[in-house]
Every structure is written in structure tokens, then in C-alpha cells.
Amino acid sequence: MIIVELVFIHHVTKWALPMSGSPVRFRDVTKTFGSTVALKAFNLDIAAGEFVMLLGASGSGKSTALSILAGFSDATFGDVYIDGKLMHGVPSEMRNVGVVFQSFALFPHMTVAETVACPLRMRRRPADEISRKVGGIGTGAPGLAGETQA
């Protein structure tokens, strides 16, 4: 189902899934890098629990939109809301947004478990809770047995 068609991002597909989450709203979000427009007047509403797929060619603004949502980058113009709250000035670690990169982009020096545990440590979770949540990551996943480097 085509929800929105833009100059840059070709279309957005949405599915309702039985999961929790917070509603997300992009309002006229534009991102420029010098004279290059990476994202232009992007508008999107995502309901809580909705699964969304952004489709577009390389350079169409998909990663830029996610980077702005996660707080890794600021919009040049426009607003992003999570759970009805404006995200201007809210640091990435306070947004409760997870991003999985196509190739590692964060902690190449850490193991998979250390990388996964990082946000738990940032939220000052107890060590036993971190061990419980991180323990067993990758067990039973085809092709991951014995993999430790992120």
C-alpha cells in the first residue's frame, strides 16, 4: 500500500502489528547538507505499534529521516514528535529509538553482547539485569553460533 509519495522517498508501507510503542510524527522535515537537499518537506504519521517500511533509491532520504528520528542528526527545518513530545534538543539516548544499521556503524571494537548491553548500561540498569537480557544472544540463530564480534 502506498501511503505517501515524495520527491525523494518513493513510498512508505505500513502494517499494524500487535506490539507496543509510541506514535511518531514528522512535520515538514527538511535536511540539507550545504546546498544538497537530503530530505525535503517530509511528513509522516506512524501510530503506536505500527510497522513501517521506507522505500526509495539510494540517496532518497531514508537513512536521513531515521537519523533525525533517532537524534543522531538535527533537521534543518521541521519538527519530529515521539509520543506527542517535540524532540528539539532531546538527546538520542533519551528518545528510546533503536536503529539497526546495514553495516556496523557504532562500536566495531566491542563484541555483539557488549554492543547490545551498551544502552542498558547507559540507562544504569543493574549488572544482573544486563547479563540476563544479553545472555544467550544469537543462540539458535542460523549462522551466528560462535560469532562474538559485532
| Annotated domain spans of the chain | 1-89, 100-150
Q: Which CATH architecture has domain 1-89?
A: 3-Layer(aba) Sandwich (3.40)
What does the DSSP assignment read for the chain? Answer: ------SSS-EEEEEE-S-----EEEEEEEEEETTEEEEEEEEEEE-TTEEEEEE--TTSSHHHHHHHHHTSS--SEEEEEETTEE-TT--GGGTT-----SS--S-TTSBHHHHHHHHHHHTT--HHHHHHHHTTTTTT-TTTTT--B-
What was the pLDDT predicted at 2? 31
Question: Mean of the pLDDT values across residues 105-116?
Answer: 74
What was the pLDDT predicted at 6? 38
What was the pLDDT predicted at 138? 59
Question: Mean of the pLDDT values across residues 94-98?
Answer: 83
Question: Mean of the pLDDT values across residues 79-107?
Answer: 83
Q: Is the pTM of this model over 0.85?
A: no
- What proportion of the chain, given as a percentage, has pLDDT over 90? 35
